[in-house]
A and B are shown apart, each in its own frame.
Chain A
């Protein structure tokens, strides 16, 4: 397992520079389940890291331990150089947005957002001012006097975001904040969360099992697998250069095409491609993205068209190699017109590095 580091992210435009977060060797077991199995995670100041992984891999546990809502069995946590390992949750200064709606139903939107400020003893005028500003930031300045049950799910999560940010938290934590919303609102709100986060410059940890969401908003995506981090890298790097088989198969669609590794290169179909670090030696399966496969009709080709699905600007062709391997190719819909089901085709693979895994 290799953890790739990177620090390329847009600099926050205003306010706090954010604090660095360091989680080291975190462990947590529930009975016999290893929810966290030695998790190491570092967040740069102002960075937005998304933890991505299948259900039950320990994402929520990691977030809740960082927030202090859950105890770790071992490991340490520090924020901005300060050791928080044994600091109780209410003293950690972290703003959290929960998956389930968590606004206080007996308070207005404004009082919800001002709640944390009231606990900090800020004056009434101050609180209203700051809460109002936060609501403007999330586009709900007009809804101050409403109660939670008068808002849509998306609006409630915006208020929850404003409430978490109002206390100027050291770290912003979001646990699948969009999963209860319908697809359209989800896309809109995730872009908005990203915008707000870059505006305020708060270091942010966002948890999701939706890879599209993760790739769309993260500075870096950390892929979790059974309580550990398999790889953490900027979205593009994660997609083009998966470090492990798990990452390659979990993020995006991949074909598995028989390959023969020979030193630094591998022969896949007729092409010779460079291999990524972590690849297996000898015979194996190359993980190849559908958009890296191009198709052209050819009487003497080594594959047959099984079906062609039109997806708008692009189409997806399903093909079988002569050895029976199924391969998906993504191509411009204009080019897909020349393919007939049952016709023979020749496949070409874009010569970018591939990960080859054991068969």
Chain B
């Protein structure tokens, strides 16, 4: 699983960048970064775009892109979107609540430090580890599955939900929630106590403070974090791969099939087309986010 570009989960009081100057000095310092971007972002993207529009023979062709409209890739895309959206929503809401509980604890408390470090680990490794844990518990011949079969006579092989969308959503939540805690915590910490006191002093009830001050202030960071979660789930591969060994219910797994298929050779370019599709989806979501932010948060300047 990779966390995509370090998205600016804008703190409420971020300053507007002012004054642009062009000189050689500062840009020289950026060189390593630009090289990095070039090697790991630009080149792969260009490769994907070129590959998507190539036939097996190497000439220009719309055949692969057109193939995206077939039933299997369409269904994979739909499942991917549902999975990403649902797990981002669940992760964002529960993660934000958990983050709130964490900030209300004193900064030095053990609870706070424990939660943040556990979240750091889970956000990175939660997926695969937990996929195995779930399989061992609830999968075919899992601990609990067998126990249920022995006790209630349920079918030990019948519990396939874990390997389908609901199972993926559940397992994805295990890294989405901690990731949300990590990216949303700074925004919550940026809520100044004086804002609350000023609101109360002017006559606000707790409810009015949250509705009229805290929520609007947190909205950009919340949307930004939710978007990060969406992209994170959309691009996640390892967890799904660990859980799903047969078939390709979601787009990243379909790319795997396209690249490793031994049945139909020359599917690599179809893999490129699928990757292009994913890039377009993420681009659309980011555009949507930018638009939403401009509409609801002009104050960010």
Residues of A within 8 A of B (CB): 67, 69, 89-91, 93-96, 98, 100-108, 115-116, 118-120, 147, 149-150, 160, 163-164, 167
Shortest Cβ distance from A160 into B: residue: B198
For A115, give its contact among B199, B205, B298 (CB under 8 Å): B199
* B287 lies within 8 A of chain A by Cβ: no
Give B258-301 as 1s and 0s: 1 = Cβ < 8 Å from A's Cβ atoms: 00000000000000000000000000000000000000011101
* B98 lies within 8 A of chain A by Cβ: no
Query: Which A residues are CB-close (under 8 A) to B194?
Result: 98, 100-102
Which residues of B97-156 have CB atoms within 8 Å of chain A's CB atoms?
A: none
Which residues of B189-220 have CB atoms within 8 Å of chain A's CB atoms?
A: 192, 194-195, 197-205, 208, 212-213, 216-217
The 8 closest A-B pairs by CB, nearest first: A116-B202, A102-B194, A119-B203, A102-B198, A96-B201, A147-B299, A106-B299, A106-B216
Q: Count B-side interface residues using an 8 Å CB cutoff.
A: 25
The stretch of B10-18, B62-70, B86-94, B244-252 in contact with A is: B10-18
Closest CB in chain A relative to B187 CB, distance in Å: 13
A47 to B78, CA, bound (A): 69
Query: Which B residues are CB-close (under 8 A) to A69?
Result: 197, 200-201
Are A89 and B299 closer than 8 Å at their CB atoms?
no
Query: Which A residues are CB-close (under 8 A) to B208?
Result: 119
Query: Which B residues are CB-close (under 8 A) to A115?
Result: 199, 202, 212
Are B198 and A104 closer than 8 Å at their CB atoms?
yes
Are B203 and A100 closer than 8 Å at their CB atoms?
no
Interface of B is mostly: helix
Closest CB in chain A relative to B300 CB, distance in Å: 9
Closest CB in chain A relative to B252 CB, distance in Å: 38
A101 to B192, CA, bound (A): 10
Residues of B within 8 A of A (CB): 12-13, 15-16, 192, 194-195, 197-205, 208, 212-213, 216-217, 297-299, 301
- Asked, given contacts A107-B299, A119-B208, whether A90 binds B195 with beta carbons under 8 Å apart, the answer is no
Are B301 and A116 closer than 8 Å at their CB atoms?
no
Are B299 and A167 closer than 8 Å at their CB atoms?
no
Shortest Cβ distance from A91 into B: residue: B203
A277 to B192, CA, bound (A): 47
Are A105 and B217 closer than 8 Å at their CB atoms?
yes
Residue in B13, B197, B198, B216 whose Cβ sees the most chain A Cβ within 10 Å: B198
Query: Which A residues are CB-close (under 8 A) to B212?
Result: 115, 118
For B203, give its contact among A103, A116, A150 (CB under 8 Å): A116
Query: Which A residues are CB-close (under 8 A) to B200?
Result: 69, 89-90
Are A163 and B202 closer than 8 Å at their CB atoms?
yes
A160 to B201, CA, bound (A): 12
Closest CB in chain A relative to B224 CB, distance in Å: 15
Shortest Cβ distance from A69 into B: residue: B197
Are A149 and B13 closer than 8 Å at their CB atoms?
yes
A91 to B208, CA, bound (A): 13
